Amino acid sequence: MRLSPDQLIFWQHGFFVLNGTIMFTWALMFVLVAGSWLITRRLSTEQTRSRWQNLLEIVVTGIDKQIEEVGLPHPEKYIGFIGTLFLFVGLAALCTVIPGYEPPTGSLSTTAALALCVFVAVPLFGIEQNGIAGYLKSYLAPTPLMLPFNIISELSRTLALAVRLFGNMMSGAMIIAILLTITPFVFPIVMTALGLLTGMVQAYIFSILAAVYIAAATRSRAAKPEPAPAT
C-alpha cells in the first residue's frame, strides 16, 4: 500500500532519487509554463480574443478580486505568489482524472515545501511594507507578553498548512486506491469526483490562508487609538 508518490521510484543513483513526486511536479510545471506561454504569445485587446486568453483572464481577474477582498490593497504585488500557489495546487488536484497520475501534493515533502514558502514570504512582504522595525514590532502587539505566543502561532500555522493539504490529498488518493480493490466499477468514480471537489477547495483554502497571513503582516500600523475612558 503506497502512502505517497515518494515510494514510486523511477531512477536511483546513490543519493539522488527520481521518484514519482518529482516527476509529477516537473510535468505540472511544464504544463503550466508551456500552456501560459502558448496562450500569451499573441494577446489581443479587441473584442474578439481566443477562448484560452478569455480563460486566463477570468482566472487572473478572479484571483485579483479575491486578494483585494482579503484586505491587500495592491493585488498586483502579491498575485505572482498567491496565484501560483492556487494554480499549482489546483492543477495538481485536477489532473487526478488522468489515469496513472498521483498528485504530488499527496507527499508531505511537497506540502512542507509550499508551507515553508509561505513561512518565508510573510515576513518578506511584511518587511517590504512596514520596514524591519515595524514588522518586528508587530510581534509585540498587543502586549510584549504575547511575544512567545505570536512566534508559536507563526510556526504552528505553517505546520497546519502543510499537514492540512497533505492529509486531504493523501486521503483522497488512498480512499480511491482502497475502493479499487473492493468495488472496481462505479464507487471509485464517485470518490474521484469527491476528491476533485476537495482538491479544488483545498487549493482555494491554501492560497486564501496565505493571503490572509500576508495581509495580517502588511497591515499598516494605524495611529494609536485614544485610550478608553476609565469607567
Partner 1 sequence: MTTIAVASIVTAGITTGFGTMGPALSEGKAVASALTSLAQQPDASATITRTLFVGLAMIESTAIYCFVISMILVFANPFWNHVVTLGAGK
Binding site for partner 1 (CB under 8 A): 1, 3, 66, 69, 160, 163-164, 166-168, 170-171, 174, 201-202, 204-205, 208-209, 212
Q: Which CB, 113 or 160, lies closer to partner 1?
A: 160
Q: Which CB, 25 or 207, lies closer to partner 1?
A: 207
Kindly provide the residue ranges of all beta strands, DSSP E only, lying in 30-111, ordered along the sequence.
Answer: none
Least distance between partner 1 and beta carbon 184 (Å)? 21
Question: What does residue 45 show for φ and ψ, rounded to 5 degrees?
Answer: -105, 10
Q: Give the span between the Cα atoms of 38 and 36, in whole angstroms.
A: 5
Least distance between partner 1 and beta carbon 16 (Å)? 23
Least distance between partner 1 and beta carbon 71 (Å)? 11
Least distance between partner 1 and beta carbon 4 (Å)? 10
For cell 536511483, what's the residue? 12
User: Are 165 and 89 a contacting pair, CB within 8 Å?
Assistant: yes
Q: Give the span between the Cα atoms of 154 and 134, in whole angstroms.
A: 17
Q: Which CB, 66 or 109, lies closer to partner 1?
A: 66
User: Are 176 and 188 a contacting pair, CB within 8 Å?
Assistant: yes
Q: Which CB, 4 or 130, lies closer to partner 1?
A: 4
Least distance between partner 1 and beta carbon 209 (Å)? 7
Q: Which CB, 25 or 66, lies closer to partner 1?
A: 66
Task: Name the residue among 204, 220, 222, 211 with its Cα closest to residue 122.
Answer: 211
Q: Give the span between the Cα atoms of 168 and 203, in whole angstroms.
A: 10
